[in-house]
Amino acid sequence: MPWRNSSKPKLVGVVGVGSFGAAIANMLAEKNPVMVYARKEETVSEINNSHTAAGRDLNPGIVATSSPEELCKACEILFFMIPSAGFMEVVKNFAPHLHPYHLIIHGTKGLSLNLPGGESLETVKSLRRSQILTMSEVILQETVAVRVGCLAGPNIAKELSLGHPAATVIASKYNEVILEGQRLLRSEKFQVYGNSDIVGVELSGVLKNIIAIAAGALAGLGLGENAKGLLISRGMVEMVHLSKALGGSVQSVIGLAGVGDLVTTCNSVDSRNFTVGYRLAKGETLDQILETMEEVAEGINTVRIIDAFLKTAGIRAPITESLHRVLFEGSSIEEALQFLMKFPFSVDIDFV
């Protein structure tokens, strides 16, 4: 019987048990039985025997499997919580076992590429919108799933795991996806809003990572609160123009998934993207930073993709362009800052 016609608690699946996946699995386990997928057998054994994942405590009722088939057979509702770099591969591994009755909500803030065989970002140099996929578009392209949604907002995993008050947005074209996500996740300490603009919400979560890297760089240079306020406000304007060019709405950017998440990640030492910028400003190279980071900072790949998109979009995104020069073209943080301070902005807000 389909999940939506039954009042009996259903087993909910979570794909990925990194810091965010573990936090979401624990939150889901407060109301429903949960099964998580982990690729490594040793991680599965750790979860099932010790109720931990890489040292992170998990609800004792959570069970684990390394079989996509087992998870898909047992769970009609799946939460995909995996880094964007491995998202396509994982979705393809799950595709043979997914059916139209599955409901999928992902929490991955990243972009993927839709390029011909053999092509890569290094070879194409410029990108059109049709060559850029949000994570929901990856799911729809690679599987037969129909009811797809995303989860986005100021959701730092460390704070969620401590039970601090927070909120998120569930976005989907299907109202039943939003309602189901709210039912499963909403609690006294966690508010869940709905939004039908899934593209805009996904893009907000992606684009704010670029600004977070820049915010970390400002903090690393010790440039103060005025500079941070300037960056966040100009960053929001840049996010609006980029989101509109990529098919999202202004409303989503100025909501919880956009401005809410932007302010959080631009002020948090627990943000991976903020940390990348901070360490760059302190003199480390990108390679040195990546070698020592436990989890991927999604903003790095986003900078590359959006910079390539700008070459066909006919718009300017000075913060993104400056960061691309720092990350991949050998420019210094100081040179990027000089460029931004001299950029000829003529008005404050130009999108309303």
Q: Using DSSP, state whether 331 is helix, strand or coil.
A: coil
At which residue do the structure tokens 């900072």 appear?
297
> Which of the 8 DSSP states describes residue 256?
I
Q: Which of 92, 173, 189, 208 is catalytic?
A: 208
Distances in Å between the alpha carbon of 60 and those of 21, 25, 47, 52, 57?
A: 15, 11, 9, 9, 9
Locate all alpha helices (DSSP H) within 76-156, ordered by sequence. 87-94, 121-124, 135-142
Q: Is 125 a catalytic residue?
A: no
Distance CA 44, CA 53 (A): 8
Distance CA 148, CA 91 (A): 13
Distance CA 167, CA 144 (A): 30
b/e per residue 25-39 (b: at least 16 CB within 10 A): bbbbbeeebbbbbbb
**Active centre residues (catalytic):** 208
